[in-house]
Structure 1
Amino acid sequence: MRNKEELWTIVAKQFGDKGYQGTTMRDIARVLEMSEAHVVGLLGTRDEMLWHIVSRVAGLFLTQARTVPRTISPAEQLHLLIYRHLEVVSQDRDHVSVFLRDWVFLDDVRRQEIQAMRETYDAYFYRVVVAGVKEKVFRVSDSLLACLFVLSALQWTHQWFNASDALTFTRLADQYSVLLLNALRSDYVVPLDGAIDYLYQKEEQPD
Structure 2
Amino acid sequence: MNPRTLIFSGGALGDWARALIRPGDRLIGADRGARYLVEHGYAPDLAIGDFDSVSAAELAAIRAAARETADCDPVDKDYTDTELAVRRALQERPRELVLVGALGTRLDHSLANLHLLELARRSGVEASIVDAHNRVRLVTQQLQLERSAYTHVSLLPLSERVAGITLEGFRYPLREAELALGQSLGISNVLEGERGSIAVRAGLLLVIETHD
TM-score normalised over the length of structure 1: 0.29
Query: Does 1 or 2 have the higher relative contact order (CA < 8 Å, sep 6+)?
Result: 1
- Name the structure where strand makes up a greater proportion of residues: 2
TM-score normalised over the length of structure 2: 0.29
Bigger Rg over Cα: 1
- Name the structure where helix makes up a greater proportion of residues: 1
